[in-house]
Amino acid sequence: MSHTIHPTAVISPKAKIGDGVTIGPFCVLEGDVTLGDNCYLASHVVIGNRHGVVKVGRNNTFEAGAAVGGPPQDLSYKGEPTQLIIGDHNTFREFVTVNCATAKQSGITRIGNHCLIMAYSHIAHDCELGDHVVIANSNQLAGHVTLEDHVKTGGMCGFNQFCRVGKYSFVAGDSAVNKDILPFTISQGKYAVMRACNSIGLDRAGFAKEDIESINRAIRIVTKGGGTVEQSLARIEAECKPSENIQYFVNSIKNSSRGLAI
């Protein structure tokens, strides 16, 4: 097994390092850390902590100053061996911070595959990111936030704890999110509200024109229809052609725990 480790790096005896890994100057691997094949750590990267478990998949890049897998910033945490699990092909830019979970729920902070986390962003304990998520500079995610697949955000956004942002949605820059964002939407504001269908994003993702039109109708019923949530659901059932995407949208409404950002 071959890898390149700079002589100034500090490597925990518990660390497991895959083939083709590069660890640059002044990096630190602390505690129980696993790095998959072909990961790249630029310089001054810190991964892990003395209590938790950090598992990193293949082909991940950590740029200078990233601090990934630190203990949760939660007063209830008492040093339990909670986890951070990262998939494959992710990029963590300069000074990104990601925390291990608390012991309150699954004990796992999870990041999927093919995500880009831009500089100065923070992902707190017990967060879950799906695949192909793009977080722009200086976003701040509180604990237990979920970003589903293909979510994209502008810079300087903040997310309150336990918020869920649905798949293929876009949160515009400088927004503050304190309620759930439904899939396929564009949201913006302080506090953010859903303003439109993410039609351009869906088109770029290969959605069929008729599917985009149906999704747009469902979103307009919720955001512009003026009815209660129950009335909106009844209208969607009556007016929108049934499909997997419409059912997913409806289920997201029904399963919202924080309330909807309307």
* Annotated catalytic residue, options 48, 143, 166, 201: 143
Phi, psi of 222 (to 5 degrees): -75, -45
**Cα–Cα distance for residue pair 188/172, rounded to 1 Å:** 5
Q: What DSSP letter does each residue of 31-68 carry, written as one string?
A: EEEEE-TT-EE-SS-EEEEEEEEEEE-SS-EE-TT-EE
Which residues, in sequence order, are bridge partners of residue 32?
Answer: 53
* Annotated catalytic residue, options 125, 132, 144, 150: 125
Q: Kindly state the greatest CA–CA separation across the chain.
A: 66
Q: What DSSP letter does each residue of 163-227 carry, written as one string?
A: -EE-TT-EE-TT-EE-SBBPTTEEEEEBTEEEEEE-HHHHHHTT--HHHHHHHHHHHHHHHHS-S
Phi, psi of 62 (to 5 degrees): -120, 115
Annotated active-site residue 143? The verdict is yes
Annotated active-site residue 107? The verdict is no
- Backbone CA torsion sign across 96, 107, 74, 47: negative
Which residues, in sequence order, are bridge partners of residue 54?
Answer: 33, 84
* Annotated catalytic residue, options 48, 57, 88, 126: 126
**Cα–Cα distance for residue pair 96/122, rounded to 1 Å:** 6
List Cα–Cα distances, 223 to 16, 43, 129, in angstroms: 49, 46, 25
Annotated active-site residue 125? The verdict is yes
The residues annotated with a catalytic role in the active site are 125-126, 143
